[in-house]
A and B are shown apart, each in its own frame.
Chain A
Amino acid sequence: MSIIIAFGKFGVSMADSLGAAVRYDGVQKSYDGETLVVKNLNLDIPPGEFLTMLGPSGSGKTTCLMMLAGFEPATHGEIYLNDRPINNVPPHKRGIGMVFQNYALFPHMTVAENLAFPLQVRKIGKSEQQEKVQRALEMVELGSFGNRRPAQLSGGQQQRVAVARALVFEPDLILMDEPLGALDKQLREQMQYEIKHIHENLGVTVVYVTHDQTEALTMSDRVAVFNDGVIQQLSTPDSLYEDPQNSFVAQFIGENNKLNGKVIDVSGSECLVELQDGTKLKADKVNVTNIGDQTTISLRPERVEFDPATDMDNLVKGKIEELIYLGDHIRVRMNVAGNDEFVVKVRNRGEKRSLKNGDIVPIGWARNDCKALDAVV
């Protein structure tokens, strides 16, 4: 709570300067002149948005961030900051706050000196510097740590200092390059909320890069999923999960059952898919078009029901291969239509279930829980 209150003050002052917007316009990037790391990126980020660039390593997300920060020049295209082209603006004039992967706190300066650094280079008066530094430190609950060296702080504390340093000069836009990567799981979750709250309170635009999908789903307003230098899908976290636009997104976000087959009938937004063993399934048509297309059906494990109602869209039988007790739910690995990696999550309601290894049981799911996507070989 204290964080939120502390940020309240900031929020007011920064709200006036809102209006930051980032626009990538046909941006391409190549390091060696032979392959494109970023292929024709077009992206608008409205002011105040928390946008996450998510993707596996090598997908081009960090390059996009570095181009925005000004550390890498775009090979082609233009990047706009508040409708101003910034390709020729050097990094220190862009006024963008940035939090680095390993924080990049200056080891030879104290925490307070680190925070004062951006103020000093902006030639802000001594007393004002002190005031702002102290306010920023209190904002991240490190008010009494000003005289310590970064090496004397824990990882989480260093992280907060890094965030405070990126904020202390009140930029409109904050970039974060996998800032939580070095923290352990528990601390990482806590920091996720803190960063989220800071964003909410200050209303700054945040561009956040990570390869951790949970982090992306938890924090973001919108997520851009990168792969192979291209944004695969740009949408809110829930639609990313519920309505993946292609197989890559479906697999990258959350857990997913894959069933390969062929489209045999199409009607409106639905289609009928025949699996290799002849099973026919009804599915939402996402990015298949014609009868005869190869397709991969994506199905979330928690949407599958045991003992399905007889009127469910899809009804099949599966053989239980393995049961894993996980407390809040039970993971059931099954063999369904020849796929023995088929996983079903059963919520643990306390009632006794008579599932046993080797049982062949009926299962079913609704048509709109299963998406017919592009085929994965």
Chain B
Amino acid sequence: MSETADQLLTTKDGKPLKAALAKALRRDKLRALALIAPLLIFVLLTFVAPIVDMLFRSVENDIVSETLPRTVIELQDWDAESGVVPGDATYNALHYDLMIAAEKKKHTQLGTRLNYEETGISSAFRKTGRRVDDFGEGYTDQFVALNEAWEAPATWVDLLASPDWVKSQATWAAGDQKATAEPSFVINDTARKALPQTSEIYGAFARTIQVEDQDSPTEEEPWNAVYSALYEDLTANPAAADAFSGANEALLSEAAAAVATFTPVDIKALFVKADKDWGEPSIWQTIKTFAPAYTSGYFLNSVDAQLTADGVQMKPEDERIYLFLFGRTLMLSMAITISCLLLGYPIAFLLAHLPLRTSNLLMILVLLPFWTSLLVRTSAWKVLLQQQGVINDFLVWIGVISDAGRLVMINNQTGTIIAMTHILLPFMILPLFSVMKTISPNYVRAAKSLGATNWTAFWRVYFPQSVPGIGAGAVLAFILSIGYYITPELVGGTSGIFISNRIAYHISSSLNWGLAAALGTMLLAAVMILFLVYDRIVGIDNVKLG
């Protein structure tokens, strides 16, 4: 027996005391966990999850590589700074990608996404998407002219479908077709090896018409792009027919012999014809720059920078707005917080020192703003503050200002500060009040009895003790005001709007959620940094709500 074993405390029946204690406490812990579980789950679902989602959205960018997989691979070898457009292979890849995307109606989404980075891409994708269907038509015509069999859907199925699929499709066709969906099309192995491009594009065609249109490949003529893929396969591998047998071999041999004499279709020219931007390197640079599945683009955008082929650059002067708005948001929020404090402190002081009955009555008046709708209050401010409004009318009437010199108090920063101060005042008063309530009047009396004047007693004894309330109120008012956007939108004009207004715009109007998420994340980070600074200077434990 070692010494430690001797010292190990045990219960009467010999179990280690620590284990017994842990066991006894476990039930309590579990019960405590069960009690907070509903809140925990609620917070996770409604607070943590959206924030994580937002953080994710601000960097998510897989739409490019998902919509244009072949193009993205081709562009890897292209030198974005070469100043020339990529080679024909890239145009061919884009032809296939865009064909599939257009059928799935994904190309406009991608266009919208890339248009955030370069103006004009949206219409390039939309215009090209409308025409991409016809790009391979030249090959289709030549194949069909060569042999009409190429027009028949059955030819293609026979050539490319796996025998298993043919069987299961036949069974399905014989039965009740409405009861189940047609079996998903499968390419045979021979075709996959001998005609790789054709198999791939035809496979995409078959899947698309099956899923999107509920059509069957046995009845539909393939896209023109399939013919152009076949042309490329046969040009690259004239012996492809050898892998097949029977009628297919004959058909392919004939085609393989003929493709050399076909008139090639200039896919690149067709792209440039659809939209002249395809002839410029810049659109390709943008696609290549934003090909990775994750991007810093949104964050760069949110600090007025952009990702270009040459790396990160600041945006042109006349498009910089976000940093400025961040700065203004912080400044105005501070101004609002300070004016809340200046107005709220004396009121809270008064409330805390009145008899209970009177202070309760006054407290109701303080809380009154909570009970009126935000829009009503904001509209009321408009009526009061506008140039033909109540306050200006009164000032003109008593002769303080002339009719021509009416004050501009709304649709600018003044309006925002006034209205927001009004709205946030209770959030300042309540914590101040509850902290002041706990400060015994004896402190001030003691200070006075020790020889302090009223002011000294207040400033050196009362005020420091009310600082936790100021801290809580200021943090509340500041954070709330940073996130407000309705009131600034309505009374702030152009000089009184906040960064949140741009976030709301991108969420609800431009649908640029990635940028909105990045801006939101920046705002969150700014608040957290301010919090840390506050903690450093004042100390977070110096914040008291009562």
The answer on a CB contact under 8 Å between B445 and A69 is yes
Q: When chains A and B are docked, how far (Å) is the Cα of A101 from the Cα of B441?
A: 12
Q: B443 within 8 Å of A by Cβ?
A: yes
Which of B448, B452, B457, B465 meets A107, CB within 8 Å? B465
The answer on a CB contact under 8 Å between A71 and B450 is no
On chain A, the number of residues with a Cβ less than 8 Å from chain B's Cβ atoms is 28
Q: Are A102 and B448 CB-contacts (below 8 A) given A92-B453, A108-B464, A121-B456?
A: no
Minimal Cβ-Cβ distance residue in B for A108: B464
Q: B313 within 8 Å of A by Cβ?
A: no
Q: B460 within 8 Å of A by Cβ?
A: yes
Contact with B along A62-92 (1 / 0, CB 8 A): 0000000111000000000000000000111
Q: B119 within 8 Å of A by Cβ?
A: no
The answer on a CB contact under 8 Å between A96 and B449 is yes
Q: When chains A and B are docked, how far (Å) is the Cα of A91 from the Cα of B457?
A: 11
Which of B446, B453, B460, B464 meets A104, CB within 8 Å? B446
On chain B, the number of residues with a Cβ less than 8 Å from chain A's Cβ atoms is 19
B416-458 residues with Cβ-Cβ distance < 8 A to A are 440, 442-443, 445-454, 456-457
Expressed in whole angstroms, the minimum distance between the Cβ of A109 and any Cβ of chain B is: 8
Q: B251 within 8 Å of A by Cβ?
A: no
Q: When chains A and B are docked, how far (Å) is the Cα of A71 from the Cα of B447?
A: 12
Q: A117 within 8 Å of B by Cβ?
A: yes
Minimal Cβ-Cβ distance residue in B for A91: B448
Contact with A along B18-42 (1 / 0, CB 8 A): 0000000000000000000000000
Q: B490 within 8 Å of A by Cβ?
A: no
Q: A145 within 8 Å of B by Cβ?
A: no
Expressed in whole angstroms, the minimum distance between the Cβ of A228 and any Cβ of chain B is: 24
Which of B442, B450, B454 meets A102, CB within 8 Å? B442
Q: Are A69 and B449 CB-contacts (below 8 A) given A106-B443, A107-B465, A108-B464?
A: yes
Which of B446, B454, B457, B464 meets A98, CB within 8 Å? B446
Q: When chains A and B are docked, how far (Å) is the Cα of A225 from the Cα of B244?
A: 124
A165-190 residues with Cβ-Cβ distance < 8 A to B are 165-166, 169, 175
Q: A308 within 8 Å of B by Cβ?
A: no
The answer on a CB contact under 8 Å between A121 and B452 is yes
Contact with B along A99-120 (1 / 0, CB 8 A): 0111011111000000001100
The answer on a CB contact under 8 Å between B440 and A104 is yes
The answer on a CB contact under 8 Å between B450 and A169 is yes
The answer on a CB contact under 8 Å between A169 and B440 is no
**Residues of A with C-beta under 8 A to B440:** 102, 104
Which of B446, B452, B457, B464 meets A100, CB within 8 Å? B446
Q: Are A95 and B446 CB-contacts (below 8 A) given A104-B440, A117-B460?
A: no
Q: When chains A and B are docked, how far (Å) is the Cα of A97 from the Cα of B450?
A: 6
Q: B461 within 8 Å of A by Cβ?
A: yes
Expressed in whole angstroms, the minimum distance between the Cβ of B404 and any Cβ of chain A is: 51
The answer on a CB contact under 8 Å between B452 and A104 is no
Q: When chains A and B are docked, how far (Å) is the Cα of A43 from the Cα of B440?
A: 30
Q: Are A98 and B451 CB-contacts (below 8 A) given A106-B443, A108-B464, A117-B460?
A: no
Q: A352 within 8 Å of B by Cβ?
A: no
**Residues of A with C-beta under 8 A to B460:** 117
Expressed in whole angstroms, the minimum distance between the Cβ of A24 and any Cβ of chain B is: 18
Which of A71, A94, A106, A166 meets B461, CB within 8 Å? A106
Q: When chains A and B are docked, how far (Å) is the Cα of A98 from the Cα of B446?
A: 7
The answer on a CB contact under 8 Å between B445 and A117 is no
**Residues of A with C-beta under 8 A to B448:** 70-71, 90-92
The answer on a CB contact under 8 Å between B461 and A100 is no
The answer on a CB contact under 8 Å between A92 and B461 is no
Q: When chains A and B are docked, how far (Å) is the Cα of A101 from the Cα of B451?
A: 19
Residue among B447, B449, B452, B464 with the highest chain A CB neighbour number at 10 A: B449
**Residues of A with C-beta under 8 A to B465:** 106-108
The answer on a CB contact under 8 Å between B451 and A95 is yes
The answer on a CB contact under 8 Å between B449 and A117 is no
Q: Are A101 and B449 CB-contacts (below 8 A) given A107-B465, A117-B460?
A: no
Minimal Cβ-Cβ distance residue in A for B460: A117
**Residues of A with C-beta under 8 A to B464:** 106, 108
Q: A122 within 8 Å of B by Cβ?
A: yes
**Residues of B with C-beta under 8 A to A165:** 450
**Residues of A with C-beta under 8 A to B451:** 92-93, 95, 118, 121-122, 169
**Residues of B with C-beta under 8 A to A93:** 451
Q: Are A104 and B456 CB-contacts (below 8 A) given A118-B450, A165-B450?
A: no
Expressed in whole angstroms, the minimum distance between the Cβ of B542 and any Cβ of chain A is: 10
Expressed in whole angstroms, the minimum distance between the Cβ of B276 and any Cβ of chain A is: 72
Residue among B445, B448, B451, B465 with the highest chain A CB neighbour number at 10 A: B451
Expressed in whole angstroms, the minimum distance between the Cβ of A193 and any Cβ of chain B is: 24
Residue among A71, A94, A97, A117 with the highest chain B CB neighbour number at 10 A: A117
Q: When chains A and B are docked, how far (Å) is the Cα of A166 from the Cα of B450?
A: 7
**Residues of A with C-beta under 8 A to B454:** 90, 92
Q: When chains A and B are docked, how far (Å) is the Cα of A95 from the Cα of B449?
A: 7
A7-34 residues with Cβ-Cβ distance < 8 A to B are none
The answer on a CB contact under 8 Å between B452 and A117 is yes
The answer on a CB contact under 8 Å between A98 and B447 is no
**Residues of B with C-beta under 8 A to A106:** 443, 446-447, 461, 464-465
The answer on a CB contact under 8 Å between A91 and B445 is yes
**Residues of A with C-beta under 8 A to B443:** 104, 106
B459-474 residues with Cβ-Cβ distance < 8 A to A are 460-461, 464-465
**Residues of B with C-beta under 8 A to A122:** 451
Q: When chains A and B are docked, how far (Å) is the Cα of A175 from the Cα of B442?
A: 14
**Residues of B with C-beta under 8 A to A96:** 449
Residue among A98, A105, A106, A118 with the highest chain B CB neighbour number at 10 A: A106
The answer on a CB contact under 8 Å between B442 and A92 is no
Which of A70, A97, A101 meets B442, CB within 8 Å? A101
**Residues of B with C-beta under 8 A to A92:** 448-454, 457
Q: List 5 A-B contacts (CB under 8 A).
A: A70-B448, A91-B449, A92-B450, A92-B452, A106-B464
Which residues of B does A touch, CB under 8 Å?
440, 442-443, 445-454, 456-457, 460-461, 464-465
Given contacts A71-B448, A104-B445, A105-B446, 13 further A-B contacts (CB under 8 A): A90-B454, A92-B451, A92-B453, A93-B451, A94-B449, A95-B451, A97-B450, A100-B442, A100-B446, A102-B440, A104-B440, A121-B456, A175-B449
